[in-house]
Every structure is written in C-alpha cells, then in structure tokens.
Amino acid sequence: MDTNYKDLITADSHFKSISEKVFLGKRITPEEGLRLFDEADLGLLATLANAVRERLNGNITYFNRNFHIEPTNLCVFTCKFCSYSRLLKQKDEGWVLSEDEILDRIKSYDGKPITEVHIVGGVHPKLDLEFFCEVLRKIKKLRPELHIKGFTAVELDYMFHKAKVSVKEGLQMLKDAGLGSLPGGGAEIFDEEVRNQICGDKCTTEQWLYIHETAHTLGMHTNATMLYGHLEKYEHRIDHMERLRTLQDKTSGFNTFIPLKYRSQDNEMSYLGEVSVTEDLRNYAVSRIYLDNFRHIKAYWPMIGRTVASLSQAFGVDDLDGTIDDSTKIYSLAGAEEQTPVLTTEQLTQLIRSSGRTPVERDTLYNVVQEYSSEETVES
C-alpha cells in the first residue's frame, strides 16, 4: 500500500476500514457505499475513486470518434423527466427519418475517420424490427468497418413485442444484420417504486436487465446508465449499482457505466430543479468505488459540460465519450450545458491533457486506435 494512502487512512480514521478495502482492491458493501454517499467528504471520495481509476486504467482518459442518429423523437411512452420526445399525436413537433435519410447521414461521413454510429431515439410503431434490420444491413454495406451501437432496452422491448419474437431471437436478428453493441439508456433508476413514478409505462427493471444479460450471452457488449438527481435517494443509487454489479459478476458483458444527470428544462419534473456540480462529482466518485467490476466510468460531456467533464477525471472518470459532431438533441433540449455538442478530436485531447491525463482514442469496445503524446498535434 502506498505511503500516501496509509497517511490518508490514518488521517481519516472514520473511514479507515472502507479506505483499506478500496486501496487493497476489495469490494465494499451496499452499507459502506451508502456511508460514502452520506458522510464522506469530497476530498476523500476523490482520493479513493482516483486510486481505483488509476489501478484499472492508469493515467489514460479514453474518447472515440462518433456521431449519433436519432431516427425519431415521436414516442409512445410518456417519461416525466424527458424533454426530448413528443407523443405521436404531436407529430408537427417531431421528426421521423426515412431509411434513405438515415443512410444519407451515414454517407455524409464518407472519408472521415469515424469509428462508431450511435442510433437511439423515441419508440415509434412504424420503426419496427424489420425496418431496422434492413437499415443496419445497408449501413454495413456502405461502411463495413463502422461499429453500430444502437437501441436502448426500452426500444428493443417494444420492438420485439410488436414483432412477436423473443428477446434472444430479436437480438440475434439485429446482430446478424450488423448491430455491434447496445447503449445503456432506459435504465433510469431501478428501484421499482421510483421508476413507476417517473417512467411507469415503459419496460421494467427486470426487462432491462434481462435484455442486457441476453445480449451478453450472445457475445454483444453493452453499456449501463443511471439517471440521478431527481426523486431518487442515495439508497436507490446504491441499489441500482448493486444490481448492475451483480449482473456484471455473472456475465462480464458491460463496457462502461455512465451516470446521467437529470436536466430539468421543459419536462414534467422541472419543479425539482437540478443537483449541484459537487453532487455530480460525488456521484462519479462513489460509482467508481462501488462498481469494482466495471473497467470504465464515463462522463457524457454534452450533458454536464466541458468544465465538469474535465473535473470528473479526478473523481474516477476515465472516458469522456466522443466527438458527437452536434448530432444529438436528447440533452440539449433538456437544458444541458452544451447546446451544440461538438468537439473536434484536437479539442477533446486538449480537454483531457488540461487535467493532466493522457488521451487515448479507442473504438467502441475499448481497443486502442491511437495514443497521443502530450505534444502531439491531432488531426480532427
């Protein structure tokens, strides 16, 4: 154990047993995770989280070159926290992309070193399993090397029920058509009582976990998210992470965990306001400490802004997502810090370097595409 860590444990004896566990790479309990949320000061959390971060990933912060396609913002569900979607009857306020329009967006990146397209959106009855299988096949024909990360468990649950196929059958069809991995959206918060209050009409916690577990058994990696800063309490966050940690023990199929901050603009829960930056950093730190079997913790910079994303790297975060290219409206419509979310590769590497970290470009599955030295000029 490093001398500085021994000094810290001695200086903060109230958390001595938890600190020793963390520095020795041992798992903390739900009760200990709750104590960290409730009682630990931010400095201690930063030290503990950074110890885990550097044990797993050294001084590296990852990013990738990606863009989003959002096929529609019309949705059959009415999540109270959502500022993005519109009901089907509000079609004048929404959009539905055709197959050709989706493919045109793929073609617009011809000749650019993009490695991932992220496809998510509202749940629309006309955009069904058959439609997306055909779209995926055509995307792979246009650009075989492009990794397609697509469809939240909420979209998939609806899609599979409508097509009258099992989760395993539906996922296999999408995989065969070209789907590479699943994003983590739709998890929101797993506690059933809170979930019922904020998004009670969409897929359940059990269904979300089952879809991701099934994807893992088919050899598909997925991400996991947690929406925080609304009606939930600390115990609900720990419960959420415990369910993810348990599934990860079983499958090892999750790539990364992404805490998503509730943003309050123009939705049914706006009266709640938003939690502070300090709370954001506390949440990143406890997530990094608690999820000992997740290799990566991601800060989604379009949601929290560049400044907080930079700070988060001292609180356990080792991934800042990607270039985005102003291709998503999900958080900008909710009042996120970045209203035009686009960073060049050079800007992203500079953001990482400014925090004393080493930028590494990755692909979706965390294979290294390129490492950058502290002085290296980056081609955008």
Contact 359, 353 (CB under 8 A): yes
- DSSP secondary structure of 331-367: TGGGT-S-SS----HHHHHHHHHTTT-EEEEE-TT--
DSSP per position, 254-274:
EEEEEEEE---TTSTTGGG--
CA 68 → CA 147, 187, 330, distances in Å? 12, 19, 10
Distance in Å from the first CA to the final CA of the chain: 41
Q: What pLDDT, on a 0 to 100 scale, did the predictor assign at position 12? A: 56
pLDDT surpassing 80 at residue 346:
yes
Q: Is a pLDDT exceeding 90 seen at residue 288?
A: yes
Q: Is 171 exposed, middle or buried (0-12, 13-18, 19+ CB in 10 A)?
A: buried
User: Is residue 185 a contact partner of residue 225, using CB atoms and an 8 Å limit?
Assistant: yes
The residues that bridge with 226 in the sheet, in sequence order, are 259
**Position 244 pLDDT exceeds 60:** yes
Average pLDDT, the chain: 89
Q: Read out DSSP for 192-255?
A: HHHHHHHHTTS--HHHHHHHHHHHHHTT-EEEEEEEESSS--HHHHHHHHHHHHHHHHHH--EE
Q: What is the mean pLDDT of residues 30-55?
A: 97
Which residues, in sequence order, are bridge partners of residue 287? none
Identity (one letter) of the amino acid at 159?
M
The CA-based angle 142-148-152, given to 5 degrees, is: 140
pLDDT value, residue 21: 96
Q: How far is CA 41 from CA 46, 177, 282, 307, in A?
A: 9, 49, 9, 21
- pLDDT score for 78: 80
293-330 residue pLDDT tens: 999 999 988 888 889 999 999 999 999 988 866 444 44
CA distance 317 to 296: 7
| Structure token pair of residue 233 | 């309490």
Q: How confident is the model at residue 305, as a pLDDT?
A: 87
Judge contact between 341 and 326, C-beta under 8 A: yes
pLDDT at 330: 45
Which of 135 and 377 is assigned the larger pLDDT? 135
- The one-letter amino acid at 7: D
Is residue 33's pLDDT more than 50? yes
CA distance 342 to 359: 17
Per-domain boundaries in the chain? 3-54, 60-371
Q: Where are the beta strands (DSSP E) in 35-155?
A: 60-64, 66-69, 74-75, 86-87, 116-119, 147-150
Q: 330-339, pLDDT tens digit by residue? A: 444 434 454 4
What are the residue ranges of helices labelled H in 24-128? 30-39, 42-57, 99-107
Please write the tens of the pLDDT for every residue from 84-116: 655 555 666 678 999 999 999 999 999 999 999
Q: Is the pLDDT of residue 225 over 80?
A: yes
Tens digit of each residue's pLDDT (9 = 90 or more) over 149-167: 999 999 999 999 999 999 9
Q: Over pLDDT 70: what percentage of the chain?
A: 87
**Is residue 63 helix, strand or coil?**
strand
**Cα gap 286→37, rounded to integer Å:** 7
Looking at the structure, give the CATH architecture of the domain made up of residues 60-371: Alpha-Beta Barrel (3.20)
Burial class (CB in 10 A: 0-12, 13-18, 19+), 379: exposed
Residue 6 has pLDDT above 80, yes or no: no
Using pLDDT thresholds of 50, 70 and 90, give the confidence band for residue 130: very high
Count of C-beta atoms within a 10 Å radius of residue 162? 14
CA-closest candidate to residue 75, choices 308, 267, 351? 267
| Averaged pLDDT, 177-188 | 97
Closest-CA residue to 184 (of 162, 144, 163, 211): 211
The answer to whether 57 and 296 have CB atoms below 8 angstroms apart is yes
